[in-house]
Amino acid sequence: MEEKATTLSKDNFDDLFFACTAIFARKWQLSIIVCLSSSPKCFGEILSYHQGLSKKVLSTNLHKLESKGVIARKVFEDGNINRVSYSLTDAGNELIPILEQLLVWGNKYAPYSKDDKSKYDKEKFAEDKTENR
């Protein structure tokens, strides 16, 4: 069987794994990137976008994404008040087409259909994956 030319290989698997987990391992980071994909937002706007996200957890995730160069933090004056906005950096913007392609792939091949999302059980999904190993 003829092998396809690809940049993915056993030799660079660790690089791929760490690149993915650096961004996607924390629960809220992907959602924050999606939130910022349309425009820069202030802390409160990002917080209101995410149900169940505490200020502390949002702050931690914003700092992590900023330290990884995915988002930028900008302080600006609004009258006598300093405000902060967050936006995607060039590196963050480069993730958007990748995430869009992942969404297309997921919609095509994901184990659960959109109709099943309301019935989605994370624990059951984890059990299914463990049993298939």
Q: Which domain holds residue 46?
A: 10-104
Q: Is residue 83 part of a domain?
A: yes
CA 70, CA 67: separation in Å to the nearest integer?
Answer: 8
CB 48 within 8 A of CB 58: no
At residue 88, does pLDDT exceed 80?
Answer: yes
How many degrees, rounded to 5, is the angle at CA 90 between CA 70 and CA 15? 55
Report pLDDT digits (tens) over 16-68.
888 888 877 888 999 999 999 999 999 999 999 998 899 999 999 999 999 99
Q: Is residue 48 part of a domain?
A: yes
CB 32 within 8 A of CB 46: yes
Q: Which residues are within 8 A (CB) of 29 and not within 5 positions of it... i.e. 6 or more apart?
A: 23, 61, 64, 65
Q: How many domains does the chain have?
A: 1
Domain of 18, CATH number, reads: 1.10.10.10
Q: Is residue 20 part of a domain?
A: yes
Q: Is residue 39 part of a domain?
A: yes
Query: Mean pLDDT for the chain?
Result: 83
Cα→Cα distances 55→39, 52, 82, Å: 20, 10, 18
Q: Binning pLDDT at 50, 70 and 90, where does residue 133 land?
A: very low
- Pick the more confident residue, 83 or 124: 83
Q: Is residue 122 part of a domain?
A: no
Q: Is residue 125 part of a domain?
A: no
At residue 124, does pLDDT exceed 80?
Answer: no
* pTM of this prediction exceeds 0.85: no
Per cent of the chain over pLDDT 90 is: 49
Q: Binning pLDDT at 50, 70 and 90, where does residue 106 land?
A: confident
Q: Is residue 44 part of a domain?
A: yes
CB 35 within 8 A of CB 50: yes
CA 86, CA 70: separation in Å to the nearest integer?
Answer: 10
Per cent of the chain over pLDDT 70 is: 78
